[in-house]
Amino acid sequence: MKNIQVFDGARNATFSIFQATDEEFAAIFPNPGQDMEFIEDFIERTGDGKVGAIMSPIWERPVLKRDAMGIHGSLFYQFEDRKNGYPATKREVDWDASSINQAQRDLFAKHR
């Protein structure tokens, strides 16, 4: 199982974490090393009905943040207006150097 943190643009968003099977995770994050996805891109790539079928069981597997053993992916809802600021690869390690601090640049460089 892999943990996905959901970022929602709503004011009352909880940024909750949910567990996904390896197959569900691969459907959401299909590219090598990908750990970020926008719901709009997922829907466009997969189709609304299939997204619902994939996400439905995930919503039934919430995890308390304090109990999460890592976050493997981030799924963004209502972030369409901020999308151009994210790495095109949708990989955390590919952030623009000006967006992160030196410690992050050093860490990410080791994992590209």
pLDDT at 11: 84
Position 90, amino acid: K
Q: Is 63 helix (H, G, I), strand (E, B) or coil?
A: strand
Domain housing 59: 2-110
Q: How many domains does the chain divide into?
A: 1
CA dist., res. 6 & res. 39, Å (int): 10
pLDDT at 89: 96
pLDDT one digit per residue (tens) for the chain, 112 residues: 999 999 998 888 899 999 999 999 999 999 999 999 999 999 999 999 999 999 999 999 999 999 999 999 999 999 988 899 999 999 999 999 999 999 999 999 999 9
Cα separations in angstroms, 50 against 47, 57, 110, 112: 6, 12, 36, 31
